[in-house]
Chains A and B, each alone.
Chain A
């Protein structure tokens, strides 16, 4: 069993839909990261959080430390949101999930 599990592995949506990606972890953590990776390969950090909730534009990330669970929400999804979303835990040494591939169709 991986230390960081994401679900679903693949997700398709119509433009405008509300999207939720889940991340569960089994290790103690100091921080959890949500990352976005486009087909070209580069990774962009979306959020780093250790408690509660963060919002940036149409993206919302929440974390429940007691349940060892985090969610990434995308409101009013758009085709440009199509990417792989990766959950990672840790600060200095990151443990990555395998990613959720999101495709948003017009």
Chain B
């Protein structure tokens, strides 16, 4: 079974530039998450999708961050314009919405995109 795919793996941009990240979840996973992990901290949820709808975007800085999952499969996360404090690893994860009976719902993480804003 293929895992969660993310690209690019690394990105360096200057402040005020724009950047976009892509995520392809595990086939059949209806729920998709974007996390931001600043160095030395645990991941923080930015946005959660259920199919192509947003379940939770309460911690997404909507003045500069946007995300979409138009067809309910892959997703993009965009930052425009970037700030120095956006330097972080951006993790995508996916999970089944309805796990098999007796199984807990487990999130599967991608390799992450390391963003450096200079």
Q: Interface residues, chain A, CB within 8 Å of chain B?
A: 4, 30-31, 33, 35, 40-45, 48, 50, 86, 88, 91-94, 96-99
Contact = CB atoms under 8 A, between A and B. Distances in A.
Contact of B109 (A42, A50, A93): A42
B106 A45 contact: yes
A37 to B, nearest CB: 8
Contacts of B40: 98
Interface stretch (B17-25, B42-50, B74-82): B42-50
B32 interface: no
Given A40-B9, A40-B111, 14 more contacts: A33-B106, A41-B89, A41-B112, A43-B112, A44-B109, A48-B104, A50-B104, A88-B42, A91-B105, A92-B31, A93-B45, A93-B48, A94-B107, A99-B42
A91 B104 contact: yes
Given A41-B89, A41-B91, A88-B42, A93 B107 contact: no
B110 to A, nearest CB: 7
A31 B93 CA distance: 17
Contacts of A48: 104, 106
Contacts, number: 57
Task: Give me the 9 closest cross-chain CB pairs, A-B, nearest first.
Answer: A96-B42, A41-B112, A42-B111, A43-B109, A41-B89, A98-B42, A96-B43, A31-B104, A91-B105
12 contacts: A33-B107, A40-B9, A41-B91, A41-B112, A42-B110, A43-B93, A43-B109, A45-B106, A45-B107, A48-B104, A92-B31, A93-B56
B105 A41 contact: no
Interface in B69-97: 89, 91, 93, 95
